[in-house]
Structure 1
Amino acid sequence: MFYPRGRRGVEPFFQVEQLRRSGNFNMDTDHFHDSYEIYYLLSGERHYYIHNRIYALQAGDLVFINKNQLHRTTSRNRSRHERILVNFDDLFLEPAAGLVPDLAEMFQGESFLLRPNAHEQGEIADLFQAMLQEQREGAPWSRPYLQTLLLQLLIRLDRIRNAKPAVVIPEQSEAQHRVYGIIEYLDAHYGEKLTLGGIAEHFFISSTYLCRTFKQTTGFTMIEYLNYVRIRETKALLRTTDWRVTRIARETGFESIAHFGRVFKEITGRSPLQYRKQNRE
């Protein structure tokens, strides 16, 4: 059974999919969302942007993405790859609230990468295949069965994580190291008036080099990245404060309410007021 993305917040949301791609492919869809994500690389190699770092993934690696965490995958060595992707929200696991702590407590609100051993990979792959089959067949009691499969997977991931598996080290070339510094700067100063020329001058590099290196390293343009960070912060303020939208736009670095509204809708598919209403009901 498939619980469509458009009804998230009204009823539980869950989706699992398996996909094989050949050749060069860079993710260009939503880069952060209100649901959790589990990415499992079955074969091939990928570059994965998470935690403001770039990681080189190999077959068997798994990534858990927390809600509203900016992330993206890009090609590595132009190799074909196959992956399984699971997305779900808090409501989907609500029936299990009495059995396990919530995910914020279970994983300390963190995104993380795992490199399971061969035996652990087999267990994880079996759970994913059971989810895919159950979603495909849509038999009676499909939702609670999928909930139990997902709960088994999350507990297994927590055990692997606590057993201190091999650490996946971020890429550390000179260009990547420079971009990491730029990312940290943008994360700290997103609420200020920033210009391409001003950032390039701050890091003693040309604007052309800045744009090219940032895009090659992260998969985002610098403006895309800055907009995603700003919208991520505005979503939090819309959920947790009663500030007027004009103040939220100003506090997060947008020069005009019109520009803020346009960027917010491009990234989230909703207006700021629609988002606030839906996430307070």
Structure 2
Amino acid sequence: MNIVPFFDVEQIKRTGTFNMDSDHFHESYEIYYLLAGERYYYVNDRIYALQVGDLLFINKNQLHRTTSKGRSTHERILINFEDSFLEPLLGLGVGDLPLFQGESFLLRPDVHEQGRIVDILQDMLREQREAATGYTPYLQALLLQLLILIGRMREEATEPVLPESSEKQRRVYRIIEYLNAHYAERLTLEGIAEHFYISETYLCRIFKQTTGFTVIEYLNYVRIREAQTLLKETEDKITAIAEQTGFDSIAHFGRVFKQIAKRSPLQYRKQNKV
């Protein structure tokens, strides 16, 4: 349970193989900093190979998952926060800031920058753990300091850190693009495999190996993410939204929605209506 509303920071060290299997997109921002080891990170339809000192900024509602790269021990610090945590400090809409607009991104800080980042992160961990007087505004100030540093590093980077790009990964990227474009249709594994002139077995294997998701898992997340947008921004009936996002029945839609969003479509609409 977070001791500060809308903000959490944690440091975890894991030995051997570990593949993330928790919620894969959420309505908070995420900052992932790799202290030790190496990881594959799927985010925003691409795979990144993270090395020590890498920092990944994940925007709201971006599908993501981290998976093992070898069997080495890895250690990371993870921050999650919502707009409302910073708004009292900034006095404006956090989403209007340049850093929060556009896509998620990976930074590869130099040794000096890594030192500054780790200092801020350790201060955050200590403040959250000790919860001394005034720790909430202190955490807000530390987070703002970190975000300013990230923004400057991003501006000064000579070139972006590129995602992995083997032939297998490029094929999976094309499949992902197809799913993103056709999620509203009645897709089947057989039909997707035929479209790309590969077998169902090969489709399922390379997709899982590359992204950490099964094809159906990924398709469901894309559909539910779009359904959440429609629930928030339109007056469409839930049955119509289920049909618009590719579900063959309202019962199937409701079941998958609750599994991913942890609440029913109606509850989600009541809590998030714009």
Does residue 1:49 correspond to 2:46, yes or no?
A: no
1:163 paired to 2:161: no
**Identity score, percent:** 68
Shift of 1:226: 0.2
Unpaired runs of at least 5, structure 1: 5-11
Question: Which residue number corresponds to residue 91 of structure 1?
Answer: 84
Paired residues of 1:3 and 1:13 also in contact (CA < 8 A) = no
- The size of the alignment, in residue pairs, is 273
What is the CA-CA distance between 1:80 and the residue it aligns to?
0.8
Give the 3-state SS of the residue equivalent to 1:125 in structure 2: helix
Q: TM-score, normalised by structure 1?
A: 0.94
| 1:17 shift after superposition | 0.1
Instruction: Decide whether the 8 Å contact of 1:55 with 1:169 is kept in 2.
Output: yes
2:130 corresponding residue in structure 1: 137
2:97 counterpart residue number: 105
- Aligned amino acid, residue 174 of structure 1: E
TM-score by length of 2: 0.96
- 2:147 corresponds to 1:154: yes
Secondary structure at 1:41 match in 2: strand
After TM superposition, give the deviation of residue 131 of structure 1 in Å.
Answer: 0.4
Kindly provide the CA deviation profile for residues 151-184 of structure 1, in whole angstroms up to 9, marking residues without a partner as x: 0010110000000255322111111111010000
Q: 1:94 to 1:101 in 2, by over 3 A?
A: closer
Q: Does the 8 Å contact 1:103/1:109 carry over to 2?
A: no
Indicate the residue corresponding to 1:239 in structure 2.
Answer: 232
Aligned to 2:2: 2
Superposed CA offset, 1:163-217 (max 9, x none)? 0255322111111111010000000000111010000000000000000110001
Q: Is the 8 A contact 1:114 1:168 kept in 2?
A: yes
Displacement, 1:104? 4.2
Offset at residue 34 of structure 1 (A):
0.8
Once residues 165 and 26 of structure 1 are traced to their aligned partners in structure 2, the CA distance between those partners, rounded to angstroms, is: 32
Per-residue CA deviations over 1:59-91 (Å, capped at 9, x if unaligned) read 000001111000010000111100000000011
Q: Provide the C-alpha distance between the structure 1 equivalents of 2:122 and 2:168, rounded to a whole number of angstroms.
A: 39
1:213-252 pair list within 5 angstroms: 213-252=206-245
Residue 109 of structure 1: how far off its partner (Å): 3.2
Opposite residue 105 of structure 1, the aligned amino acid is L
Pairing 1:253–2:266 present:
no
